[in-house]
C-alpha cells in the first residue's frame, strides 16, 4: 500500500505497543472515516496528555510514544509521537516533523533554564488524509491554553494545524524559524546532537546523560498563567 512504511511501528513510534493500540481503538471506536478518526485522536492526545516541558527524559525509552502515554504527560516531541503511533495503530499513515520555533510566551522559569526562547526540534505529527499529508500539533492541552490566554489549536483533518503567530490578546506567540523536515520515526540522536549545540550544558538540555532527565517539581501551567495578561470584560 502507499506509504506502507508510515503504517509500521518504529523504535519510538511504537504503534504496536498494547497501550497505544488500546488507546487508539477506544478513541476511534464507532468511527468509520479516517478523517474523523484522526480528529478524535488529535483531541485525545492534545487534551488527555498534559504538556510538561519541565520533565524531559533523554533516554531511549523516554522518547517512546508508549512511555509518554503511560505517564499522562509529555512535551511537543513525545506528544507528536503518540499521535503518529495512535494513527498508525488504526492504519492511518503517519510521520513526525520538526521545526525550530521561537516561543515568545514561555514561562520565565523555562526560559531561564534554557537560556533562550528558541525551541530546537519542536515536534508535530503529519497524517495522510484525503490524498495529502496534513500537519497536526497536539502539544498544548486545552487547560494550558485557557490559563495562558492562547487559542487552542484545532484540527479538522483537512488544513494544517500549526501554532498561531499571536495569542488571544495579540501578543507575539510562536515564530517558525527553521524547517527540520519529516521523519518516519523520532530522530533521537539528531535531536540530542542539536540540543548539545544550542543549549548550555548547565541547563541539562545541552549535554543530557543516559538515564538522566530534566525534571523540576514545578507546575508549568501555573507558571504560564502567572505570566498571562489580565483579561478585562
Give the CA count within 13 Å in the CB-facing half-sphere of 211.
0
Assess contact for 204 and 214: CB atoms under 8 A: yes
149 pLDDT above the threshold of 80: no
Residues 156-180, mean pLDDT to the nearest whole number? 75
Per-residue pLDDT at 207: 44
What was the pLDDT predicted at 212? 47
Q: What band does 115 get if pLDDT is binned at 50, 70 and 90? A: confident
Provide the percentage of residues in the chain whose pLDDT is more than 90: 56
For residue 110, name the pLDDT band (cuts at 50, 70, 90).
confident
Average pLDDT over residues 98-107: 78
Which of 120-134, 165-179, 196-210 has the largest mean confidence?
120-134
Give the residue, 92 or 230, on which the prediction is more confident: 92
For range 38-47, the mean pLDDT: 98
- Confidence at residue 61, expressed as pLDDT on a 0 to 100 scale: 93
Q: How far apart are CA 162 and CA 42, in angstroms?
A: 13
Q: Which residues contact 124 (CB under 8 A, 6 or more apart)?
A: 76, 80, 96, 97, 98, 99, 135, 136, 137, 138, 139, 162
Beta-carbon neighbour count of residue 178 at 10 Å?
A: 12
How far apart CA 78 and CA 155 sit, in angstroms, is: 18
The pLDDT of 62-71, averaged and rounded, is: 96
pLDDT at site 172: 54
pLDDT of residue 102: 83
What phi, psi does 129 have (nearest 5°)?
A: -135, 135
Cα dihedral 84, 181, 10, 12, rounded to 10, equals -80
Q: Percent of the chain scored above 70 by pLDDT?
A: 81
Contact predicate 12/31, CB 8 Å:
no
Q: What is the pLDDT of residue 44?
A: 98
DSSP annotation of 105 reads: T
Query: Residue 194: which of 182, 183, 205 has the closest Cα?
Result: 205
CA distance 11 to 8: 10
Of 107, 105, 16, 101, the C-alpha closest to 66 is: 16
What is the arithmetic mean of pLDDT over 47-76?
92
pLDDT at 116: 80
HSE-CB of 2 using CA atoms within 13 angstroms: 8
**pLDDT tens-place string over residues 178-220:** 899 999 999 999 999 998 888 876 555 544 444 444 444 467 7
The whole-chain average pLDDT of the chain stands at 84
Measured in whole angstroms, the distance separating CA 218 from the mean position of its chain's CA atoms is 20
Q: Is residue 84 over pLDDT 60?
A: yes
Higher pLDDT, 202 or 158: 158
Amino acid at each position: 500500500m502507499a506509504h506502507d512504511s508510515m503504517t509500521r511501528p518504529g523504535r519510538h513510534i511504537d504503534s504496536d505497543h498494547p497501550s497505544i493500540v488500546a488507546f487508539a481503538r477506544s478513541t476511534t471506536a464507532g468511527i468509520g472515516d479516517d478523517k474523523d478518526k484522526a480528529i478524535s485522536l488529535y483531541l485525545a492526545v492534545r487534551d488527555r496528555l498534559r504538556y510538561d516541558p519541565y520533565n524531559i527524559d533523554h533516554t531511549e525509552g523516554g522518547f517512546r510514544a508508549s512511555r509518554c502515554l503511560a505517564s499522562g504527560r509529555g512535551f511537543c516531541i513525545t506528544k507528536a509521537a503518540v499521535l503518529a503511533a495512535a494513527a498508525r495503530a488504526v492504519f492511518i499513515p503517519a510521520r513526525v516533523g520538526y521545526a525550530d520555533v521561537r516561543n515568545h510566551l514561555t514561562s520565565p522559569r523555562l526560559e531561564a533554564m534554557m537560556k533562550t526562547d528558541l525551541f530546537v526540534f519542536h515536534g508535530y505529527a503529519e497524517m495522510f488524509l484525503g490524498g495529502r499529508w496534513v500537519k497536526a500539533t497536539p502539544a498544548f492541552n486545552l487547560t494550558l491554553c485557557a490559563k495562558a490566554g492562547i487559542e487552542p489549536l484545532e484540527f479538522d483533518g483537512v488544513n494544517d494545524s500549526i501554532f498561531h503567530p499571536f495569542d488571544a490578546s495579540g501578543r507575539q506567540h510562536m515564530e517558525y524559524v527553521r524547517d527540520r523536515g519529516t521523519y518516519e520515526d523520532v530522530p533521537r540522536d539528531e535531536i540530542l546532537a542539536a540540543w548539545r549545540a544550542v543549549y548550555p550544558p548547565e541547563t541539562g538540555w545541552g549535554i543530557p546523560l543516559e538515564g538522566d532527565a530534566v525534571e523540576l517539581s514545578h507546575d508549568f501551567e501555573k507558571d504560564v498563567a502567572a505570566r498571562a495578561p489580565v483579561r478585562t470584560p
